Amino acid sequence: MPEINSADRNNFVDLPGELEEALTRIGKALPEWSMDGTFLAGSTIERYRAELASVPHFAKIAESLRAEVSTAGTGYAVVRLGNIAQALGFGEEFLRLATALLAEVATPFQPFLRWPLWKEIGTNLAADPGMSTGIGYNAFHIDLVNATLPPDYSVLLCVRPDPLGAGESILSDARAAVARVSPQSRALLGEAVHRYGSFFELSDVGEEFTPFPVLDGAPEGSGFVRFTAKMLNAAGLDEEHAAAARELAKQLVAGQESFILQRGDFLIVNQHRWVHGREPLAAGQHDVAEADRRLLLQLFLRESAPAAS
């Protein structure tokens, strides 16, 4: 079982044994996927969907998952595929099955042109500890915060958790945190003064958005709380706006949920509502063999893919 500190157990989807067995069989039969630009091709989605339609009770599970991760629902879920991973390993068969399952939520895509559909997030002892591949605290953020159209969902698949037992995933409901800050701070958070990150070799995420506001004024289902804790260190940010952002950061930490992703778990995060991050990995990572260190795979989901080319 995942170690759950404050997360709602209803967000953790355990599949019945009968369904696990059926999906394992399906995983062995799914064809290689094809891409339409950075998006999973519509023909692949149709083929995968046809295969999954033969699985008893799967349609109900898929409908429930879509509702759970929607903005109107809880906004995130962890699907637990550990037994299937044990049966299939983490090769092409498992990734095809995971991709097929995610295509029932929204369209998988990979906006980073230099990476494949599933992008590795390993553990690099030489990296900045606060980065996704580092070993330290990775503070709250949404992915591609400085794009005009960030991904609707960010997905993290756990291949190996930290073998020393740390590195909890952390989430916070950004909409709820915004509601707890002062009206004066909310007004300041709506002003485009923040900067963070570079913007190159990207596709299907709009244009570079800099400077950007934290609150973009769009409806909850289409807008974002454009937050990354790293923007607080950006040069040129005045104290008034920095204080408002720090107030929001404090509320995000106050509303934090945390849990350890186990082998085969994948986390779907609705970026219109939630920010995510990671607690530090355990001390002693230099004593862990590189092949045994924490490893995640990441892809992104878009509610509406572009028309086929």
Show the domains of the chain with their CATH numbers: 11-302 (3.60.130.10)
The neighbouring-strand residues paired with 278 are 138, 169
Q: Note whether 119 and 112 are within 8 A (CB).
A: yes
Residue 183 has pLDDT above 70, yes or no: yes
Can you tell me the distance from the alpha carbon of 21 to that of 9, in angstroms, rounded to the nearest whole number? Answer: 23
- What pLDDT, on a 0 to 100 scale, did the predictor assign at position 84? 97
pLDDT of 308 strictly over 70: no
Do 267 and 78 contact (CB within 8 A), yes or no? yes
The stretch 226-252 carries a mean pLDDT of 95
The angle at the Cα of 228, spanning 296 to 198, to the nearest 5 degrees, equals: 80
Report how far apart, in Å, the C-alpha atoms of 138 and of each of 25, 241, 264 are: 37, 22, 22
Prediction pTM value: 0.94
Nearest Cα neighbor of 11 from 55, 67, 59 is 67
pLDDT at position 234 is 87
Phi and psi torsions of 169, nearest 5°: -75, 140
Alpha helix segments (H runs only) across 122-219: 174-180, 183-189
Of 154, 169, 195, 24, the closest CA to residue 96 belongs to: 24
Q: Please state the rounded mean pLDDT for residues 144-168.
A: 97
Q: Which of 274, 69, 68, 70 is nearest to 173 (CA)?
A: 274
Q: What is the DSSP string of 136-164?
A: S-EEEE-TTTTBSS--SEEEEEEEE--TT
- The set of residues, in sequence order, having a beta carbon less than 8 Å from that of 12 and lying 6+ positions away, is 2, 4, 77, 78, 80
266 backbone dihedrals φ, ψ, rounded to 5°: -125, 135
**Cα separation, 224 vs 8, whole angstroms:** 23
176 beta partners = none
Q: Please say if the pLDDT value at position 153 is more than 90.
A: yes
How far is 236 from 136, CA to CA, in rounded Å? Answer: 26
pLDDT greater than 60 at residue 50: yes
Q: What is the pLDDT of residue 111?
A: 97
User: pLDDT tens digits for 193-206?
Assistant: 999 989 999 999 99
The amino acid sitting at 239 is E
Looking at residue 179, its amino acid is A
Task: Read off φ and ψ for residue 61, nearest 5 degrees.
Answer: -60, -45
